[in-house]
């Protein structure tokens, strides 16, 4: 793993620590609907409090257009953040730079916490502006990056700022990087990749990179339909990308060439349309009716994937295997998630999963806690699975190698 420094490598006592978090959590009518990212960040804040740091939390939230937008204020995050750190008070600065931010930071005592307003209220954040990064750097003595899920963004608080202050990884960043490294850089083999989701076109780079890295790959979700079609199968009225046929054939050829065993669905659950309570049928993959849609993997495919899971020692998983948000088309994904959980708990599999839909599916299956690691990242997890260098990780490693 690329080397980077962590909280253990620095003395933060009495220092102002600028903590880049990812508080980009789902909020409805001012209420956080999924606080997992906050809970996973909390141990880093707690450790900093413990060590007597002055903790200054900064984050983006949503996608404002480079100016203040009251609907995207981080204020609703104050209370959930306080709750996550055992009720300790969190001060708030209504601007993330300038006099207002300085005033709030100057009032902090060691062991106290402040939250700065949405970084994206300034154009300089997304532009990775050196001036904006300098304005942030004025507020701190040390930079801690705990936002792996935003590490694919070369933004000022992630990239430029890391070069201006002593920079280290927070606990969550450290955990993410360790898990991802264990899964793909130096894994116990064979490695299985389970890839699902709607479109081949959005996961092309990922498929190409992973085919060169893993011995086993199973593909589900609507993207499997595109591959099945390229193999000459009839997919009826299923969602698929007709214009990707040639690309799909190239992927199948690449898998053969690289000795990656590709496992496609051998049966499916079909229905006339994607709707709750619709009448379903279980069919072999060679018998998909003209007027039916493939909406989930069938029981034979589940059994096949379970058998492959028994063989695998390491798993990376991204994407559901069926239309899991509409029951009963969640069954295939849930059955596979349960099997992954069991094997992991039995010490027979190291399992790493990530991506918004995947995490939701695992939670629905009650298996999220049973995996070795579930990443908090969506886009960053995907880019990592594409073999891309993430600016947020690169910035920390560059600093460590100074």
- Catalytic residue positions? 37, 199, 356, 379
Would you give the binding string for ligand 3PG spanning residues 55-84, x where CB under 6 A is met? --------x---------------------
Q: How many residues bind Mg ion (CB under 5 A)?
A: 2
The yes or no reply on residue 22 touching ligand 3PG (CB under 6 A) is yes
What is the C-alpha to C-alpha distance for residues 362 and 326, in angstroms, rounded to an integer? 15
What is the C-alpha to C-alpha distance for residues 68 and 56, in angstroms, rounded to an integer? 20
Which one, 25 or 207, has the nearer CB to Mg ion? 25
Which one, 197 or 378, has the nearer CB to ligand 3PG? 378
Q: How far is the CB of 62 from ligand 3PG (least distance, A)?
A: 7
The count of other CB atoms within 10 Å of the CB of residue 311 is: 12
Closest residue to ligand 3PG using C-beta atoms: 24
16-20 and 54-58 as β-strands: parallel, antiparallel, unpaired?
Answer: parallel
Give the three-state DSSP class for 222: helix
The yes or no reply on residue 296 touching ligand 3PG (CB under 6 A) is no
Stretch that binds Mg ion, among 72-80, 125-133, 297-305, 375-383 (CB under 5 A): 375-383
Closest residue to Mg ion using C-beta atoms: 379
Residue 133 near which of Mg ion, ligand 3PG, none (CB within 5-8 Å, type-dependent): none
What is the C-alpha to C-alpha distance for residues 162 and 52, in angstroms, rounded to an integer? 22
* Candidate list 379, 386, 387, 400; residue touching Mg ion; CB under 5 A: 379
End-to-end C-alpha distance for the chain, whole angstroms: 17
- Could you say which residues in the range 340-399 bind ligand 3PG, by CB under 6 A? 378-379
* Candidate list 153, 171, 331, 339; residue touching ligand 3PG; CB under 6 A: 153
Q: How far is the CB of 153 from ligand 3PG (least distance, A)?
A: 5
The yes or no reply on residue 89 touching ligand 3PG (CB under 6 A) is no
Residue 226 near which of ligand 3PG, Mg ion, none (CB within 5-8 Å, type-dependent): none
The yes or no reply on residue 356 touching Mg ion (CB under 5 A) is no
Q: How many residues bind ligand 3PG (CB under 6 A)?
A: 8
Element at 343 (helix H, strand E):
helix 331-345
Which one, 152 or 213, has the nearer CB to Mg ion? 152
Bond prior to 328 in cis (omega within 30° of 0): yes
What is the C-alpha to C-alpha distance for residues 187 and 181, in angstroms, rounded to an integer? 8
The yes or no reply on residue 272 touching Mg ion (CB under 5 A) is no
State phi, psi for 288 to the nearest 5 degrees: -75, 120
Which one, 320 or 378, has the nearer CB to ligand 3PG? 378
The yes or no reply on residue 196 touching ligand 3PG (CB under 6 A) is no
State phi, psi for 274 to the nearest 5 degrees: -90, 100
Apex 274 CA angle, 271 and 275, nearest 5: 105
Residues whose CB is less than 8 angstroms from the CB of residue 221 and which lie 6 or more positions away in sequence, other chains included = 195, 196, 197, 198, 319, 320, 321, 322
Shortest CA distance to 210 belongs to which of 172, 228, 184, 246? Answer: 184
Stretch that binds Mg ion, among 50-58, 75-83, 282-290, 373-381 (CB under 5 A): 373-381
**Six-digit token string for 305:** 């994937």
Give the residue carrying structure tokens 């799909």: 248
What is the C-alpha to C-alpha distance for residues 81 and 259, in angstroms, rounded to an integer? 48
Residue 189 near which of ligand 3PG, Mg ion, none (CB within 5-8 Å, type-dependent): none
Q: How far is the CB of 24 from ligand 3PG (least distance, A)?
A: 3
The yes or no reply on residue 214 touching ligand 3PG (CB under 6 A) is no
> What pairs with residue 283 in β-bridges?
268
Shortest CA distance to 24 belongs to which of 95, 90, 73? Answer: 73
Give the residue carrying structure tokens 């956080």: 32
The yes or no reply on residue 150 touching ligand 3PG (CB under 6 A) is yes
The count of other CB atoms within 10 Å of the CB of residue 3 is: 8
The yes or no reply on residue 163 touching Mg ion (CB under 5 A) is no
Binding site for ligand 3PG (CB under 6 A): 22, 24, 63, 149-150, 153, 378-379
List residues near Mg ion by CB under 5 A.
378-379
């Amino acid at each position: 793993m690329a080397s980077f420094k962590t909280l253990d490598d620095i003395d933060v006592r009495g220092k102002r620590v600028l903590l880049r978090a990812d508080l980009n959590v789902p909020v409805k009518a001012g209420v956080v609907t999924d606080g997992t990212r906050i809970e996973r960040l909390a141990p880093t804040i707690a450790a900093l409090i413990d060590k007597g740091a002055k903790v200054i939390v900064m984050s983006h939230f949503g996608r404002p257009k480079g100016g203040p937008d009251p609907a995207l204020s981080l204020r609703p995050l104050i209370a959930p953040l306080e709750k996550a750190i055992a009720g300790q008070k969190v001060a708030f600065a209504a601007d993330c730079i300038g006099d207002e931010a300085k005033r709030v930071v100057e009032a902090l005592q060691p062991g106290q916490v402040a939250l700065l307003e949405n970084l994206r209220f300034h154009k300089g954040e997304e532009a990775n502006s050196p001036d904006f990064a300098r304005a942030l750097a004025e507020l701190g003595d040390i930079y801690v990056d705990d936002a792996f899920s935003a590490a694919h963004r070369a933004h000022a608080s992630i990239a430029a700022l890391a070069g201006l202050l002593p920079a280290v990884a927070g606990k969550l960043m450290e955990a993410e990087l360790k898990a991802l490294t264990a899964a793909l850089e130096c894994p116990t083999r064979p490695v299985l990749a389970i890839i699902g989701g709607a479109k081949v076109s959005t996961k092309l780079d990922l498929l190409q990179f992973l085919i060169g890295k893993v011995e086993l790959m199973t593909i589900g979700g609507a993207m499997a339909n595109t591959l099945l079609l390229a193999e000459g199968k009839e997919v009826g009225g299923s969602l698929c990308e007709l214009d990707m046929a040639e690309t799909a054939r190239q992927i199948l050829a690449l898998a053969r060439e690289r000795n990656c065993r590709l496992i496609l669905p051998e049966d499916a659950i079909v229905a006339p349309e994607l709707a709750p309570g619709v009448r379903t049928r279980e069919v072999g993959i060679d018998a998909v009716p003209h007027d039916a849609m493939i909406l989930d993997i069938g029981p034979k495919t589940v059994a096949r994937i379970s058998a492959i899971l028994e063989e695998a020692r390491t798993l990376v998983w991204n994407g559901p295997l069926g239309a899991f948000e509409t029951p009963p088309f969640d069954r295939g994904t849930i059955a596979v998630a349960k099997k992954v959980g069991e094997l992991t708990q039995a010490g027979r599999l190291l399992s790493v999963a990530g991506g918004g839909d995947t995490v939701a599916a695992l939670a629905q299956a009650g298996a999220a806690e049973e995996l070795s690691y579930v990443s908090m990242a969506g886009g960053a997890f995907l880019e990592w699975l594409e073999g891309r260098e993430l600016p947020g990780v690169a910035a920390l490693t560059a600093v460590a190698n100074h």
